[in-house]
């Protein structure tokens, strides 16, 4: 089910970006 809400979509993109950054830095906490 695609996300139509711009705010939720932006939030999901932010979380994905943070997870990628954390993985790149080697951090183990991904939420």
- What's residue 10's pLDDT? 86
Per residue of the chain (31 residues), give pLDDT as tens: 566 788 888 888 888 877 776 676 665 554 4
CA-based nearest residue to 30, from 9, 3, 21: 21
Q: What is the DSSP letter of 1?
A: -
Structural domain count of the chain: 1
Contact 17, 9 (CB under 8 A): no
- What's residue 31's pLDDT? 47
**Global pTM value:** 0.45
15 is in which domain, residue-wise? 1-30
Measure Cα distances from 21 to 5, 7, 12, 13, 24 in Å: 24, 21, 14, 12, 5
């Amino acid at each position: 089910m695609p996300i139509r809400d711009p705010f939720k979509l932006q939030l999901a993109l932010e979380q994905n970006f943070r997870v990628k950054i954390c993985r790149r830095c080697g951090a183990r906490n991904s939420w």
